[in-house]
Structure 1
Amino acid sequence: MIINLPHKVDFIINKLYENGFEAFAVGGCVRDSILNKMPGDWDMTTSALPENIISIFDKTIPTGMKHGTITVIIDKESFEVTTYRIDGDYKDNRRPDQVEFVTSIKEDLSRRDFTINAMAYNHKEGLLDFFNGKEDLQNRVIKCVGDANIRFKEDALRMLRAIRFSTQLEFSIEEETFKAIANNSHLIKAISQERIREELTKILLSEKPSYAFINLEKSGILKHILPEIQKMVGFDQRNPHHDKDIFMHTLSVVDNTPKDKSLRLAALFHDIAKPVTFSVDNKGIGHFYGHDKTGTEITEKVLKRLTFDNKTIDIVSRLVKDHMVMFNKPKDITIKKLINRVGKENMPLLFALQRADIKSSAPPFSFTPIEYVEQKVNIILEHKEPISLKDLNITGEDLIRELNLKPGKIIGEILNKLLEKVLKDPSLNHYDKLIILAKKEAS
């Protein structure tokens, strides 16, 4: 078969051959090309040693000299080129203690995780596929290269990657490979939270994340990386508004939201506190009073543990906190306060979360309350009505100067009282009117 290599990739490969070395495009780029997908990047492997690569190309960066990886810069574009290698002993289920450079491409490919990632290609040799990766692509199956137990003991993250690849590609996981994941699931505890976060994010942005989370639970990995989610599994809500346990309801919500990182995370965590806030009334009906507030606290802790950035944590927490806000034609002031809490830029995410939540509950479904609030929000924002302190046509400095006040708590108190009045009546948001109102509040 012929793979259309980018010109710069072909140039690097040919340059290495001209200098007496082998070189191939390798791994994910070959896999994606066979699947007629656009590769995200093009990695290459070569028989050339790192110092050879550096001497052959004009501009290079010793990205991972110890492991044989050199970044080659061609017209300001970066390409990773790695020397054929085999890995030494893995003592921490995360990385090899050392690597050994080899001269055989087959040896190099034999150390890789899955057969579909263990193929190499160049125009001179064609496709090198020693482990039947192309056949596994055709059969839509994820299978380890060699002994799956050894592969997962080498790097425990490979278990999470197997589940992620099966979800992204909509492939099954070969039976022996899945058994090995289940047998070694506890090893995932050795993996850093940063690496786990990256895999979870890719899973959440796939077409159907529920497929991954079901496999994470079946394999035993879920309880190690997200014990808070594990508590949802099989939890009967005992409520007429729900026809699924908390776990399956949550997965349905995730699947039914658009592919946005913060939104998908909010969908995953929106009911995180239900198991710890569960109560049953005298009619046997289940309730989860305060699960939105408690859920916000748990969500923040989990996202911090997974080392998500502060902006993401802030957005997700806001969505979880207000996901239960279902109004029956609320007043404008109530809606403005909602916009202020959630953030106007996050309102579409909140509505998407609420729609998915309703759609994933027991029928019949009614989106009327959401549609009403959504329409009101659009009108408020189109008219640029004031909704927060920064929208007031007066500042704390103005109050200090005009009212001869000293900086302190009283300034914030007056501004908040002014905002409350402006939320009810936007026509009051003029400097002169606000000064008159402020004087009354300060007297």
Structure 2
Amino acid sequence: MNFNIPAKVQFIIDTFYNNGFEAFLVGGCIRDYLLNKTPKDYDIATSATPDQTISLFEKTIPTGLQHGTVTVVIENENFEVTTYRTESEYIDNRHPEKVEFVKNIKEDLSRRDFTINAFAYNDKKGLLDFFEGKSDLKNKIIRAVGNSDIRFNEDALRMLRAIRFSSQLDFDIDKDTLSNIEKNNLLINNISFERIRDEISKILLSNNPRKGLLLLKNTGLLTNIIPEFKDTFGFDQKNPHHFEDVFEHSLSVLEKTPSILTVRLAALLHDIGKPSCFNLDEKGIGHFYGHNIKSEEISRKILNRLRFDNKTIKETLKLIREHMNVLDNPNNSNIKRLITRVGLDSIENLYSLQEADILSLKDPSVATHKIVKMREVTNNILISKEPLSLKDLAITGDDLINELGLSKGKIIGDVLKKLFNIILDYPDLNNKADLLKEAKKIVESYQN
């Protein structure tokens, strides 16, 4: 078995062998090769100590010497090289207190998380598979190396990684491994929110996000990470348009959205406020007035807790807030107002979320045509290049000051905003002469 190893990686491995050391490609890159995928990165394990590694290469970065890791830089490209090691005494369910360098590649591989990540390969010794990872790849199984209970107590993040790999590869999780995730789900509370966020994001962006979220729910991990979901489980919407509980509906929406993080976060969270907004009318039909605002409020707390960046939070909340604005009679005026609220860069993301929401109803035909029409009107607006923001006004604050004698201050911004609202309905007025006339009327209304 031969893999097409990049020349720079082969150079690193050959350098070790030429100086009396072993070196192997290890981990996920071998898994990717076996799955006929191109690896995204290449990790190398070696029998050389960090100091020996540093001495062999012209440029290195001491990335994590205490854990045996050195970054070797070849023509401005970084490659992580780690000394064979064993780990013990995990005091915080994440980081080993004790790292010991060893000379045996099998000992190093035995500390890996899952069998499908515990491979080693070089062109001299071929593929090393001490833990039947190749068989698990063939059978599409995620299985811990050795005792899964011990593996998860060593590093609780591995529980999320198991579910992430299951979602990305569409593999099943071995029964014993899955059982021990459920048994140890409380340990996830010892992991940093940043690490959890990264794994959740990868699950959401996978080809099987519904599978991943159901695994998170069924193992108890989800309610440890996002306890706000608990009220959505099994919540009967008692509404003729819905046939799933709130959580299952959210997963249906999620799996129909494009693989864009903000859209998938919004899909997952868009109805999380429904249980607290629920009321029954006299006919016994459930309604959720204002649930988009409540969902936005709850989601803000969740996204901040998980340490998402401000841009992602702002974009996601905007989509959640606006997801109910599916217009019955879209026209240039109301679509332009929607675009100004959401932003031109985000409007298609909103339509994708709304479309997925509609397609997850009991009868999607009641509203799918509305999204078609909204996209059509939006396209016509873009083709005609109608003004969509204050900067598109044919008049500036300086014009108001110079032509109307206004003083700098709040009034300038107020007048410009009112002018912009006028041209959303009457785009033909977007010329300096007409806008100055309208501005005079606005100023006079302030004075009266």
Give TM class, smaller chain. Answer: over 0.9
Distance in 1 (CA, whole Å) between partners of 2:209 and 2:418 is 45
Residue in structure 2 matched with residue 19 of structure 1 by the alignment: 19
Paired position in structure 1 for 2:244: 244
> Structure 2: which amino acid aligns with 1:391?
D
Give the equivalent residue in structure 2 for 1:418. 419
The structural deviation recorded for 1:400 is: 2.4
Measured against aligned partners, the alpha-carbon deviations of 1:197-216 in whole angstroms (never above 9, x if no partner) come to 11111111111200011111
Give the 4+ runs in structure 1 shifted more than 3 A. Answer: none
Write the letter of the residue equivalent to 2:14: N
- What is the DSSP-based 3-state SS (H/G/I as helix, E as strand, rest coil) of the residue aligned with 1:5? coil
| Cα distance in 2, alignment partners of residues 40 and 345 from structure 1 | 29
Residues 210 and 254, structure 1, Cα contact 8 Å, conserved in 2: yes
- CA RMSD after TM alignment: 1.2
- The amino acid of 2:39's aligned partner reads P
Shift of 1:332: 2.2
Between the aligned partners of 2:53 and 2:331, the Cα distance in structure 1 is 68
One-letter code aligned to 2:185: S
> What letter matches 1:338 in structure 2?
L
Q: Structure 1 regions of 5+ residues with no counterpart?
A: none
Deviation at 1:293, TM superposition (A): 1.3
Task: Report how far residue 29 of structure 1 moved.
Answer: 0.4
Per the alignment, residue 342 of structure 2 pairs with 342
For 1:367, the aligned partner's letter is T
Distance in 2, matches of 1:357 and 1:40, equals: 33
Partner in structure 1 of residue 64 of structure 2 = 64
1: distance between equivalents of 2:208 and 2:116?
21
User: For 2:395 and 2:229, how far apart are their aligned partners in 1?
Assistant: 46
Aligned residue number for residue 371 of structure 1 = 372
The Cα offsets for residues 140-165 of structure 1, whole Å up to 9 and x where unpaired, read as 10111111111001111000000010
User: Equivalent residue for 1:131?
Assistant: 131
* 1:364, distance to aligned residue in structure 2 (A): 4.6
Q: Is the 8 A contact 2:46 2:81 kept in 1?
A: yes
- Distance in 2 (alpha carbons) for counterparts of 1:434 and 1:183: 68
Is the 8 Å Cα contact of residues 330 and 377 (structure 2) preserved in structure 1? no
CA apart distance, 1:32 = 0.9
What letter corresponds to residue 438 of structure 2 in structure 1?
L
The answer for the alignment partner of 2:431 in structure 1 is: 430
Is the contact made by 1:90 and 1:155 (CA closer than 8 Å) also made in structure 2?
Answer: yes
Residues 88-127 of structure 1 aligned to structure 2 (within 5 Å): 88-127=88-127
1:312 maps to 312
Q: 2:383 corresponds to which residue?
A: 382
Assess if the C-alpha contact under 8 Å between 1:113 and 1:158 holds in 2.
yes
Q: CA deviation at 1:396?
A: 2.1
Q: Distance in 2 between matches of 1:289 and 1:436?
A: 42
Q: CA deviation at 1:408?
A: 2.3
Distance, in Å, in 1 between the alignment partners of 2:33 and 2:200 is 24
The residue number in structure 1 matching 2:410 is 409
Give the aligned partner of residue 165 of structure 2: 165
**CA–CA distance in structure 1, aligned partners of residues 391 and 279 of structure 2:** 41
Alignment pair present for 1:327 and 2:310:
no
Q: What is the identity, as a one-letter code, of the residue corresponding to 1:416?
A: K
Report the 3-state secondary structure (helix = DSSP H, G, I; strand = E; otherwise coil) of the residue aligned with 2:97: coil
Q: Answer yes or no: is 1:362 the counterpart of 2:362.
A: yes
Deviation at 1:3, TM superposition (A): 2.3
Kindly state the Cα deviation for residue 78 of structure 1 after the two structures are TM-superposed: 1.0
Name the counterpart of 2:5: 5
Deviation at 1:50, TM superposition (A): 0.4
User: Helix, strand or coil: the match of 1:87?
Assistant: strand
Question: Is 1:276 aligned to residue 276 of structure 2?
Answer: yes
Shift of 1:413: 1.8
Deviations 1:288-345 (A, max 9, x none): 1101112122222211211112221121111111111121213422111100011111
Which residue in the other structure is 1:398 paired with?
A: 399
Q: Partners of 2:137 and 2:401 in 1: how far apart?
A: 70
Percent identity over the alignment is: 55
Match of 1:198 in 2: 198
Residue type at the aligned position of 2:414: E
Corresponding residue number in structure 1 for 2:84: 84
The one-letter code sitting in structure 1 at the alignment partner of 2:120 is: A
1:403 CA displacement: 2.1
Please say which of residues 381-390 and 178-187 is displaced more in the overlay: 381-390
State the partner residue of 2:219: 219
For 2:47 and 2:140, how far apart are their aligned partners in 1? 31
Please tell me whether the aligned partners of residues 71 and 80 of structure 1 are also in contact (alpha carbons under 8 angstroms): yes
Partner of 1:88: helix, strand, or coil? strand
After TM superposition, the structure 1 stretch with the greater mean CA deviation from structure 2, 252-261 or 411-420, is 411-420
Deviates more, 1:223-232 or 1:286-295: 223-232
Write the letter of the residue equivalent to 2:426.
Answer: D
- Residue in 2 that maps onto 1:301: 301
Distance (whole Å) between structure 1 residues aligned to residue 285 and residue 170 of structure 2: 38
Q: Is the 8 A contact 1:88 1:96 kept in 2?
A: yes
Displacement of 1:11 after TM fit?
1.2
> 2:184 aligns to what SS in structure 1?
helix
Q: Which AA in structure 2 matches 1:140? A: K
Matched residue count: 443
Shifted more, 234-243 versus 383-392: the winner is 383-392
User: Scaled by the length of structure 2, what TM-score is found?
Assistant: 0.97
Counterpart contact for 1:64–1:70, Cα < 8 Å: yes
What is the TM-score with the length of structure 1 in the denominator?
0.98
SS in 2 for 1:407: coil
Q: Is the 1:197–1:306 Cα contact (8 Å) retained in structure 2? A: yes
What is the CA–CA distance in structure 1 between the aligned matches of 2:380 and 2:341, rounded to whole Å? Answer: 18
Contact 2:331 2:377 in 1 (8 A): no
Separation in 2 of the partners of 1:65 and 1:285? 63
Give the alignment of 1:132-151 within 5 angstroms.
132-151=132-151
CA contact (8 A) 2:358 2:364 kept: no
Q: Distance in 2 between matches of 1:58 and 1:283?
A: 78
Return 5+ residue gaps in structure 2 as ranges. Answer: none
SS of 2:232's partner is: coil
Counterpart amino acid of residue 287 in structure 1: H
Contact 1:217 1:230 in 2 (8 A): no
Q: Any idea what SS the aligned residue of 2:346 has?
A: helix
